[in-house]
Amino acid sequence: MIIKKIHFVIDSTQKARPFKKIIYKKYKNYPLLKSDVIVVLGGDGFMLQTLKKYQKYNKPFYGMNSGTFGFLMNKFKSRNIKKYISKSKIVTISPLEAKIRIKNKFRTAFAINDVSLFRQSRQTASIQIQNGKKNLIKKLISDGVIISTPAGSTAYNLSVHGPILSINSKKIAITPISPFRPRRWKGKVLSSSAAIKVINLNTKKRPISLVADNLEFRNINSATIKTNNYIKFKLLYDKNNSLSKKIKLEQIRKQTL
């Protein structure tokens, strides 16, 4: 990949400010439409926002970390950025699409990492989970459930003991959050072509909310979640810092715990 023009998108946080000054001293920030690549400087949350905001321009994204963990990012560098990008490897990922019903209204949201459904009050959620027309679990009493992509399987999904999915696995993970009944249900790994429907069985007494990455919807009745293969995000990673390598390292860490 030959890189001549870069468009920088830099987070406005206090952590990112020193990096911003360094970058703009050394590089010209080309207009988005004339650029070859979008370089995102920030953390994972900012990267997710930027991917969704600029996906329509069909440009590859190269992230540089100025956040806390930066799982989706490369290490920050100020020199030879074009050289690093030209030698980087591309990973193409598709998001989850959630079609949400709130009373008689319908909303749509996309998630690159995961769609999470949570209890909204002091009482546990009472939900039914379907895979197509079949019941995956007729009644789950829990704090909620997470539907995760391979890219997001090492995030919130992992913290609630969900499985880590290889980036090319074409799978999605369904993981319960603090299940009360049935206690032994650990979730399910399904094909990425699956259409998962989550239904709130008691909307009045046990309200639930849905969060698609960082976008929240409250008091939902149901949501249908599936992979949208028509949307493709192109992420660039340094040779020794690939997303698949990061996921494999997390798998090794999980096995040794």
CA angle, 255 as apex, 254 and 257 as ends, to 5°?
65
Q: φ, ψ for residue 45 (rounded to 5)?
A: -60, -45
User: Among candidates 224, 209, 211, 219, which has minimal Cα distance to 119?
Assistant: 209
Catalytic residue among 44, 114, 213, 238: 44
In the chain, what is the greatest distance between 2 CA atoms, to the nearest angstrom? 59
**For residues 41 and 19, is the Cβ–Cβ distance under 8 A?**
yes
For residue 43, the SS3 value is coil
- Chain centroid to CA 212: how far? 8
Alpha carbon distances (Å) from 107 to 14, 45, 172: 34, 22, 22
How many whole angstroms separate alpha carbon 149 and alpha carbon 169? Answer: 10
147 has which bridge partners?
115, 174
**For residues 113 and 149, is the Cβ–Cβ distance under 8 A?**
yes
Active site residue 44: yes
27: left (phi over 0), alpha (psi -120 to 50) or beta: beta
In the chain, beta strands by DSSP E? 6-10, 37-42, 61-65, 89-93, 96-102, 105-111, 114-119, 125-131, 134-142, 144-148, 171-177, 188-191, 196-200, 208-212, 215-217, 222-227, 233-237
Residues known to be catalytic:
44
